[in-house]
Structure 1
Amino acid sequence: MNAVLYAVTVAIWGSTWLAIKGQLGEVDPTTSIAYRFALAAAVLLVWARLRGLPLRYPPRTHGQFALMGALMFSTNFLCFYIAEQHLTTGLVSIIFAMSLLVNIAFARLFFHRTIAPRVLIGGAVGLLGIATVFWPEFADFSLSSGSGQGILLSVVGTLVFCLGNVVSGKTQATGIPVVQSTGYAMAYGALLMAPFALFLGDGSAFEPTLEYTGSLLYLAVFGSVIGFGSYLTLLGRIGGERAAYATVLFPVVALLLSTAFEDFHWSARDLVGVALILAGNAVVLTKPELLRRVAGLDREGRTPAGSATAAAPGSAPANSAGE
Structure 2
Amino acid sequence: MTTAPSDIPARAWAMLILLALVWGTSFLAIRTALDEIAPLTSVLYRVAPAALALWLYVAGRRLPVPRSPRVWGAFLVMGVLNNAVPFSLMAWGQLHITTGLTSILNATTAIWGVLVAALVFSDERLSTRKALGVATGFAGVATAIGWQALADLDAQSLAQAAVILGTLSYAVAGAAGRAWLSDLRPEVAAAGMLTGATIVMAPLAILIEGAPPISLAPDTWLAVGYYALIATACAYLLYWRILALAGAGTLLLVTLLIPPVAITLGATVRGETLDPNAWSGFGLLALGLAILDGRLFRRRPARAV
SS in 2 for 1:173: coil
Q: CA deviation at 1:116?
A: 5.3
Q: Deviations over 1:137-160 (max 9, x none)?
A: 665666331112212211221211
- Contact 1:129/1:277, CA 8 A, preserved across alignment: yes
> Matches of 1:4 and 1:168 in 2, distance apart?
27
Q: CA deviation at 1:55?
A: 1.5
**Partner residue in 2 for 1:309:** none
2:23 aligned with 1:13: yes
Closer/same/farther in 2, CA of residues 131 and 20 from structure 1, 3 Å limit: same
Aligned equivalent of 1:220, options 218, 223, 228 = 228
Q: CA deviation at 1:255?
A: 2.3
Closer/same/farther in 2, CA of residues 17 and 228 from structure 1, 3 Å limit: same
**Partner residue in 1 for 2:208:** 200
Unaligned runs of 5+ in 2: 1-8
2:82 aligned with 1:72: yes
Normalised by the length of structure 1, the TM-score is 0.74
Aligned equivalent of 2:254, options 225, 246, 249 = 246
Q: CA deviation at 1:257?
A: 2.3
**Partner residue in 1 for 2:97:** 87
| Partner AA of 1:114 in structure 2 | R
Normalised by the length of structure 2, the TM-score is 0.78
Closer/same/farther in 2, CA of residues 272 and 151 from structure 1, 3 Å limit: closer
- Contact 2:105/2:141, CA 8 A, preserved across alignment: no
Q: CA deviation at 1:89?
A: 1.4
| Partner AA of 1:52 in structure 2 | R
The alignment covers a number of residue pairs equal to 290
Identity %: 23
**Partner residue in 1 for 2:110:** 100
Higher relative contact order (CA 8 A, sep 6+): 2
Structure exhibiting the larger radius of gyration computed from Cα positions: 1
Q: Which moved more, 1:272-281 or 1:50-59?
A: 272-281
> Matches of 1:224 and 1:195 in 2, distance apart?
21
Alignment of 1:148-227 (within 5 A): 148-174=157-183, 176-202=184-210, 205-227=213-235
Aligned equivalent of 2:298, options 291, 303, 310 = 291
> Matches of 1:73 and 1:218 in 2, distance apart?
17
**Partner residue in 2 for 1:320:** none
> Matches of 1:84 and 1:179 in 2, distance apart?
28
**Partner residue in 2 for 1:114:** 125
- Contact 1:30/1:193, CA 8 A, preserved across alignment: yes
Q: Deviations over 1:20-58 (max 9, x none)?
A: 111213322222211211111111111111121111331
Unaligned runs of 5+ in 1: 297-323
Q: CA deviation at 1:3?
A: 4.7
> Greater helix share, 1 or 2?
2
| Partner AA of 1:178 in structure 2 | P
**Partner residue in 2 for 1:147:** 156
Aligned equivalent of 1:59, options 58, 65, 69 = 69
Closer/same/farther in 2, CA of residues 34 and 60 from structure 1, 3 Å limit: same
Q: Which moved more, 1:249-258 or 1:279-288?
A: 279-288
Q: Deviations over 1:263-309 (max 9, x none)?
A: 57899988877776666665555648x82128x8xxxxxxxxxxxxx
CA RMSD of aligned residues (A): 3.5
Alignment of 1:303-314 (within 5 A): none
> Matches of 1:251 and 1:245 in 2, distance apart?
11
